[in-house]
Amino acid sequence: MYNPKKTVASILLISIILLSGCIEDTDTEIIDNSDNTSAGIDQDNFSLDSMVMVENLPSGYEYLGSLPITDYNEFSEKIIESKEGAYRDEDNLDVFLDIIELDSDSSATEFIFNYKSQYEQLSTGDRFTNVNFNDHAATRIKTYTYRAGNQLPKYQIIWNNGNIVFIVRSNSNLESSAMNLAIATGY
C-alpha cells in the first residue's frame, strides 16, 4: 500500500544523511558476531557508528543510513550519545535501531524503566512481554495503531548490554520485523 507520508519521510531522511556527509567509509572494525551471541561490548573497538550498522542483516533487510538523535533526552539526563539506524525490512517497511550510550549500567537500567513508564497498561493482553535472545533478557513492547480503519499491533524491543540501551522499532504489524533486526545486532 502506497503511503505518501512515509515516502516523503524516507526521502527526507536519506537526503539529510547524504547532505550532511554522515555516510563515509571508515576503518572502524565492526565486531563480527556471526553466531549472534555477545558476552559484552568490546570497549577497544567501541563506536555507536559501527554498532548502528548491523553487519549480518536478516534476509530482505536493507540499511538506509544513520543519524544522531536526541529523542530520548526526556528519559535520562545521563545520555552520552545516541544514534539511529534506519532500515527497510523484507516487506519494504521502515525499522529503526536506536542505540543510546549512558554513563553507567545503572543509568541504562533506569532509562529502560523510564522509557517503559510512558506506556499505560493495555485494556486486554500484555503490553510488555519478556523475551530472550543473544544471551540477554529484553522486553517486547506492544502498541496499537489504526491503519485503514483497522487496529493493528506494532512492536518494539528494548534491552541493554551494560551501559548501552538498544531499541528496535518497526512500522510493521509483524513482531518478526523488529525481532529479526534485534537478534541480528548480536548484542
Q: What is the pLDDT of residue 10?
A: 56
What residue spans define the domains of the chain?
A: 27-184
Q: What is the pLDDT of residue 14?
A: 54
Question: Residue range 138-144: average pLDDT?
Answer: 96
Q: Is the pLDDT reported for residue 57 higher than 70?
A: yes
Q: What is the pLDDT of residue 27?
A: 31
Q: Is the pLDDT reported for residue 5 higher than 70?
A: no
Strands in 128-133's sheet, in edge-to-edge order, are: 62-68, 79-88, 94-102, 164-170, 150-161, 136-147, 128-133
Q: What is the pLDDT of residue 31?
A: 27
Q: Which CATH superfamily is domain 27-184 in?
A: Mog1/PsbP, alpha/beta/alpha sandwich (3.40.1000.10)
Nearest to 173 by CA among 91, 66, 116, 104: 91
The residue among 100 and 32 whose pLDDT is bigger is: 100
Amino acid sitting at position 22:
C
Q: Is the pLDDT reported for residue 132 higher than 60?
A: yes
Q: Convert the pLDDT of each residue in 64-83 to its tens digit.
A: 999 988 889 899 999 999 99
Q: Is the pLDDT reported for residue 19 higher than 80?
A: no
> What does the alpha-carbon distance between residue 82 and residue 70 come to, in Å, rounded to a whole number?
7
What pTM was computed for the model? 0.75
The residue among 101 and 35 whose pLDDT is bigger is: 101
Q: Is the pLDDT reported for residue 92 higher than 70?
A: yes
Q: Convert the pLDDT of each residue in 142-166 to its tens digit.
A: 999 988 889 999 999 999 999 999 9
